[in-house]
Amino acid sequence: MRPARDGADRRMNLSDGRSCTSPGLRAATVLWTGVVTAYLLEGLMQTWRLGPRLDGLVAPVLFVGATTFAGVLTALVPALLGFLWGVLPGKSTGSRRGKAFLLALMALGAALLAYRVGHQEIERGLLFLRRRIDPDVPYELAPAARPLTHVAAWLVVPTLILAWVLARLMALRARLEAARWTTRILLAAGVGLLMGAVLWVDESRYVNLYRLIHGALSVVAVFLGALAWGLCPSAWIDGLARRLFSGVGLVFVGVTALAGGGLHVILERYWPVEALIYQQSNLTRETLFVLRRLTDRDGDGAPAVLGGDDADDRDPLCRPGRFEVAGNGYDENGFEGDLPADQVPVPPQPLPRPKSFAPVDRVILVTIDALRADRVGKMDAEGAPLTPNISQLAARGVRFTRAFSHASYTVFCFGSIWSSWLPYALSDGKPEPTWLPRYLNEAGIDTAGIATSFFGRVGFERAGFRRLLTDIDDSRNPRTAAMTLTEALRELETPRGKRFLWVHFFDVHGPYAPVNPAAGAGPKDLYEAEIRATDAAIGRLLQAINAPGAPSTAIVLTADHGEEFGEHDAAYHGSTLYEEVTHVPLIIAAPQLQRRVEGRVVRHIDLAPTITDLLGLSPSPDWMGRSLLTLALGNEDPDFDHGVMAMTETGLLSFIEPEGRWKIITHRALSTWELYDLESDPREIRNLAHPSSKRLRTMRRLLERREAGVEAFLREVRRRRR
């Protein structure tokens, strides 16, 4: 007589009286529950981490709900594939054919997973080629690709591989059947804790960096979630399967439909939650990328559902984030109709240089990489000033307390400084800008730059410096402030008449390697130690500049961008546009400038016209910026545009309105929106964006006008050059 099968192989009776081979439903249940558990745990972890950024009681619930709903939708494919894997006959791996099949499957899975983990780098290259053909293609965090490839790489093949691994592990269940149920629960709990640890690393360590690693950690977390449930007692799994697939699967279908509807409502109506999900939730973000691609009817990267905000999902030329062309009768971005031509701002005529200001013989631009504005004038733990020499410079010049860069990435920042153009205008297909060093060279002014080899590698030679020293260091031996100072002093020793000198200090940029760091110093301590060393070098530079008999000199000091230390759950710079990375110090000191503090908003694109003004030249008509000399002298400039636009290479765009109070941040491809009141919320914690917000609509319209103004300005540049 055939012996009875153990609990792992029993047949289950469903609620409708039908029976089904239990391995298929058990595999589907284990995979479905493991995926949903991973997503639910991600939501709970991020809710705890984000804290005040999820204001009130509703936002945390919606955040966890959105991640859980995304997990339910993600689990649909693993559950179906797990069921098929469990019920398909002839899946023995003992034969040569079975081994060959599994090896081929694992090779295919490894290849697609490698693509999935590294797809952004591949797609950025493809995006670059697309932009060479069509300059209007927007920057995207996840450029539109073939949905089936993404789905296969993210869901199907990993599921098959994990199902096979689980099947091998579940073969060991026979040994566990004889063990106590408490032993199995403890094993399952141990694997669950390991899943939590993986998720914690994935979700908390540099969320906006190392995306190649995050993709792999996400797959591992889901696998551990399924394994933890697979180690639970068979009765638990059978009970879950009986409830989940009761009513001939109607419960399963109903739960999936409810998740889809709930996720759509949250993304459409609760924009602060949507923005945080795309910023912080690695698992949920990847699911949303897949869902958006599958539901995008016209292939422009933005669907009409799930917060895609596409006003016409049948027209690929109408998509959110596209720059509006005013007065052409067509609404390119789908926001409140076509922009009237008379609402496009016209650049004002430049003011003549104040007659009371005598031009200087030389201008020295000192830039400090990654120096935050809030570190200038700060006191350290011992009560000593962190930047005494920079503060001394501010005490005899004009300090602009609301100066902003146009990006949080060095290449974009200096591109705007040298060209007086916004980063968008420097993209492929746009006119060649008038670079500041070239403009000065043509006027007979000597130009030189002292920087690191990094600037040579990114191609800043095209800016036109007559001498650009970037080859005295390499990545293994980064230049120190002392080395930069030595080269700058050597350059200043040679008389050259009227001149412009750029000196760039790189030490404050990570990785930090200060001399004699304190034991146990953290990243902030090392950062400030580098600032202190750089300030000392700047002090020696100022002594040489102010030596008796030296030519009259104007000094402009600023930073390309700031640095993040977890203020918005991010580190380093380049991935966000919050105040900690876009607010920069700016000091202008010249013999005829009195000490004063200017609190109005100014921008990096204003530096090139200011430098030419200081040297007695008229600014180029091809520049977008406006000289700050009038403001520095304490006079009014009624035509000065104090609005600031900034962007990242991944598609983020921010705009600060001219009064400096309201700020919006949007992702051009994902249609996420953030709105902050910088007066009451300078740390940008409370996102006030809402579909019915009048303030947000006003800011969006202002941004649309500025974007149209950029396009009109570039058309005028082309017309003048014909």
Express each pLDDT in 79-105 by its tens digit.
776 666 555 544 444 445 545 555 555
pLDDT digits 0-9 by tens, 387-428? 999 999 999 999 999 999 999 888 889 989 999 999 888 876
At 287, list the tokens: 């699911």
For residue 207, CA distances in Å to 35, 49, 153, 212, 280 come to 20, 12, 21, 11, 6
- Cα distances from 590 to residues 360, 403, 556, in angstroms, run 8, 18, 9
Going by C-alpha positions, the residue among 391, 416, 389 that lies closest to residue 404 is: 416
Q: Report the CATH fold assignment for 367-640.
A: Alkaline Phosphatase, subunit A (3.40.720)
Better-scored residue on pLDDT, 68 or 345: 68
What is residue 635's predicted lDDT score, i.e. its pLDDT?
Answer: 86
Q: What's the whole-number mean pLDDT along residues 122-149?
A: 44
Residues 137 and 319: their CA atoms lie apart, in Å, by: 11
Q: Which residue has the tokens 């105040």?
A: 579
C-beta separation of 62 from 50 below 8 A:
no
> In the chain, what's the furthest Cα-to-Cα distance?
111
Q: Is the pTM of this model over 0.85?
A: no
- Report DSSP state, residue 682: T
Whether the per-residue pLDDT at 151 is higher than 60: the answer is: no
> What's the CA gap between 492 and 474, in Å, rounded?
24
> How far is the C-alpha of 245 from the C-alpha of 197, rounded, in Å?
31
Helices marked H in 51-75 — which ranges?
58-74
Q: What are phi and psi of 557, to 5 degrees?
A: -120, 130
**Residue 201 confidence (pLDDT) above 50:** yes
**Other Cβ atoms within 10 Å of 188 Cβ, number:** 18
Closest CA to 226 of 85, 90, 334: 85
Q: Tens digit of pLDDT for each residue in 435-487?
A: 999 999 999 999 999 887 555 545 566 788 888 887 655 444 555 788 888 88
- DSSP-derived letter for residue 303 is -
150 pLDDT more than 50? no
CA torsion through residues 514, 518, 521, 527, sign: negative
H helix or E strand, kind and range, residue 676: strand 673-677
* pLDDT tens track for 331-352: 888 888 888 888 888 777 777 7
Which residues are within 8 A (CB) of 518 and not within 5 positions of it... i.e. 6 or more apart?
525, 529
CB environment 634-668: b (16+ within 10 A), e (fewer): eeebeebbbbbbbbbbbbbbbbbbeebebbbbbbb
C-alpha neighbours within 13 Å on the C-beta side of residue 615: 29
Q: How far apart are CA 580 and CA 373, in angstroms?
A: 8
pLDDT (average), residues 646-673: 89
Q: Please compute the mean of the pLDDT values over residues 260-275 and round it to a whole number.
A: 90
Is pLDDT of 137 > 50?
A: no
Is 199:221 a contact under the CB 8 Å cutoff?
yes
What pLDDT shows up at residue 134?
44
Which residues lie across from 565 on neighbouring strands?
571
634 or 301: which leads in pLDDT:
634
Q: Give the whole-angstrom CA distance, residue 605 versus residue 614.
A: 15
**Residue whose pair of structure tokens reads 């990006």 in the numeric block:** 407
pLDDT class of 586 with cuts at 50, 70, 90: very high
Asked if 323 and 707 count as a contact pair (C-beta separation under 8 A), the reply is yes
Q: Which residue has the higher pLDDT, 580 or 179?
A: 580
CATH 3.30.1120.10 assigned to 320-345+641-722? yes
- Cβ within 8 Å of residue 529, ≥6 positions away: 512, 514, 517, 518, 521
- Predicted confidence at residue 166, as pLDDT, reads 57
Calculate the average pLDDT of the chain.
79
pLDDT winner (highest mean) among 85-89, 177-181, 477-481, 540-544: 540-544
Integer angstrom CA distances of residue 476 from 27, 480, 600: 51, 12, 41
Per-residue tokens: 665: 């941040």
Residues whose CB falls within 8 Å of the CB of residue 367, separated by 6 or more in sequence, listed in order: 414, 417, 502, 503, 504, 505, 557, 558, 559, 560
Which carries the bigger pLDDT value, residue 120 or residue 721? Answer: 721
Among 290-304, 391-405, 508-522, the range of highest mean pLDDT:
391-405
Mean pLDDT calculated for residue range 642-670: 89
- Residue 251: band (very low, low, confident or very high) from pLDDT cuts 50, 70, 90: confident
Sign, CA torsion 147/153/158/160:
positive
Spans of all domains in the chain: 12-295, 320-345+641-722, 367-640
Q: Which DSSP string corresponds to 221-279?
A: HHHHHHHHHHTS-HHHHHHHHHHHTTTTTHHHHHHHHHHHHHHHHHHHH-HHHHHHHHH
- Positive/negative CA dihedral, 530, 531, 535, 536: negative
pLDDT category at 157 given cuts 50, 70, 90 is low
User: Above 60 in pLDDT, residue 538?
Assistant: yes
Strand, coil or helix: what is 5? Answer: coil
Confidence of residue 6 (pLDDT cuts 50, 70, 90): very low
Most confident of 2-11, 161-170, 361-370: 361-370
Type of residue numbered 306: L
Handedness of CA 138, 434, 343, 405 (dihedral sign): positive
What local confidence, expressed as pLDDT, does residue 21 receive? 40
Question: Is there a contact between 232 and 188 (Cβ–Cβ < 8 Å)?
Answer: yes
Q: pLDDT at residue 631 above 80? A: yes
Q: pLDDT-derived band of residue 117, with 50, 70 and 90 as boundaries?
A: very low
The CA-CA-CA angle for residues 61, 699, 297, to 5°, reads: 65
Residue 604 carries which DSSP code?
G
Which among 520, 364, 519 is positioned nearest to 447, based on CA atoms? 364
H/E element, 699: helix 694-721
* The most confident of 153-162, 220-229, 381-390, by mean pLDDT: 381-390
So what's the pLDDT on residue 539?
Answer: 94
Q: 629 pLDDT band (50/70/90 cuts)?
A: very high
252-276 burial, b if ≥16 CB within 10 A, otherwise e? beebbeebbebbbebbeebbbbbbb
Binning pLDDT at 50, 70 and 90, where does residue 697 land? Answer: very high
Instruction: Give the full edge-to-edge strand order of the sheet including 583-584.
Output: 583-584, 403-404, 602-603
Q: In angstroms, rounded to a whole number, what is the distance separating the alpha carbons of residues 112 and 102?
A: 15
Best CA proximity match to 423, nearest among 644, 205, 268: 644
**β 398-400/571-572 pair status:** unpaired
**Cα(618)–Cα(622) distance, rounded to whole angstroms?**
12
What's residue 227's pLDDT? 78
Phi, psi of 597 (to 5 degrees): -120, 125
* Alpha-carbon distances of 595 from 65, 587, 592, 655, rounded to whole Å: 55, 10, 10, 30
CA distance 328 to 100: 61
